[in-house]
Amino acid sequence: MTSPTDLAAEKYVVLTTTKKNGQTVPTPVWIARLPDGSLGFTTDLGSGKVKRIRNFPDVTLQPSNSRGVITPGSAPVAARASVLTDDAATPVEQAIKAKYGFMVTLIEVAYRLRSLVKRSSGGGRAAIRLELV
């Protein structure tokens, strides 16, 4: 079995979520290990990932590149996802920032610019906590 440490060492993993119609949706995400040993990533609160996770919290994770191409020889790992907001999201945000550094700052600037242009932030930011099962 792949451990949280193994997955957390990856730069990208594909998160596969499930729609209400049963169709799966693979999405590459950054990933970081949290102080409690679980994994996490950040996203927009209004994203499809958040909606799908709220409906079906059982997901899979698999090492990939930034385009979502699965790492050859890797296997999917089952996890249970939960959506965190406000103060509960802070440990995930800190872990992502510690791992990805300046790239996080660039994403935050782009997010703020987009929210100014659209006059809506899409509901704000969220963090996803992943517990391997």
Residue 4 pLDDT exceeds 80:
no
- The boundaries of the domain holding residue 92 are 4-132
Q: What is the share, in percent, of the chain residues with pLDDT greater than 70?
A: 92
Report how many domains make up the chain: 1
Give pLDDT tens digits for 66-93.
999 999 999 999 999 999 999 999 999 9
pLDDT recorded at residue 3: 75
19-27 long-range contacts, Cβ below 8 Å, gap at least 24? 19/52, 19/55, 20/55, 20/56, 25/49, 25/52, 26/68, 27/68
The CATH number of residue 11's host domain is 2.30.110.10
Residue 132 scores a pLDDT above 70: yes
Q: What's the whole-model pTM score?
A: 0.87
Q: What pLDDT does residue 113 have?
A: 74
> Taking a C-beta distance cutoff of 8 angstroms, is the pair 15, 27 a contact?
yes
Chain centroid, CA 34 distance in Å:
12
